[in-house]
Structure 1
Amino acid sequence: MSGVGVRIDSWVWAVRLAKTRSQATALCRGGHVRINSATAKAAQQVKIGDEVRVRLHGFDKIYRVTGLATRRGSATEAAQYFEDLTPPPLPRVERPADIVRDRGAGRPTKRERRDIDRLRGRDADPPA
């Protein structure tokens, strides 16, 4: 292939961000792939230095293209073609354990429900 660029769906598949080529194409068609903050179509060319954002499993992953892969290789080979710029995930907020009510105690009263919501970190009273 020429040194200008490669199809984004082919690159996503070759660097192992998608399991199959058709899955990579579906990611592009679904709007889950962006090149330099613009939604990418499957046949759009990606070049070295481009920033690619891929939405995988509900999370955005950010990559910088460092090489143009046209065929799928091993995972160590694939790692040569991109630089991972994804920020580390935020630390999980510790929440108290689930509230346990005695069996047979019936439904919680309005006051008890508000206390439970407050303990779980939910906004008890929606803004007016």
Structure 2
Amino acid sequence: MAGVRVDKFLWSTRIFKTRSIATKACKNNKVKMEGEVVKPAKEISIGDEVDVKKRGVWFRYRVLELLKKRVGAKLVPDYIEDITPPEEKEKLQVIQTRVQFDRDKGTGRPTKKERRELDDFLSYWDGWEDD
């Protein structure tokens, strides 16, 4: 097998959900090979390292085997090796943790109980205006 388009390879190895998303990522400078931004039609070969930016983190993969058809999730490790640097993985954990705890208690919509208490409180003060 001579080579495979980078967008097709990224879709086949389940890095992207659809091929059009993989193509768009290439066009939006979120896919690099050897530090250079690549176009979707760039051919990839065994041993190449591909950098992919997803969720604000640059993931790095090494190509072990080429394929043209999408494979099941269990077979993906036969085709690519995740060689993402540890500092990028730490960045991902920080992002995921921040998303979980981003909203403080009481800063969103009130719960049903909080709404009832607020209505009771406001109706109490509405009675004071009449006096």
Q: Give the TM-score range, shorter chain.
A: 0.5 to 0.7
| Equivalent residue, structure 1, for 2:97 | none
1:17 paired to 2:11? no
| Equivalent residue, structure 2, for 1:36 | 34
The alignment partner of 1:11 has SS state of: helix
Q: Relative to total residues, which structure has the larger helix share, 1 or 2?
A: 2
State the structure with more CA Rg: 2
RMSD: 1.4
TM-score by length of 1: 0.66
- Of 46, 49, 54 in structure 2, the residue corresponding to residue 48 of structure 1 is 46
1:79 paired to 2:77? yes
The alignment partner of 1:63 has SS state of: strand
Question: Would you say the 8 A contact 1:5–1:68 is kept in 2?
Answer: yes
| Equivalent residue, structure 2, for 1:57 | 55
Provide the identity percentage.
39
**2:64 and 2:53 mapped to 1: Cα distance?**
20
**2:5 and 2:65 mapped to 1: Cα distance?**
13
Deviation at 1:36, TM superposition (A): 1.6
**1:80 and 1:5 mapped to 2: Cα distance?**
17
The alignment partner of 2:74 has SS state of: helix
> How many aligned residue pairs are there?
90
TM-score by length of 2: 0.65
Deviation at 1:82, TM superposition (A): 0.6
Question: Would you say the 8 A contact 1:72–1:78 is kept in 2?
Answer: no
Would you identify which runs of 4 or more consecutive aligned residues in structure 1 move more than 6 Å?
Answer: none
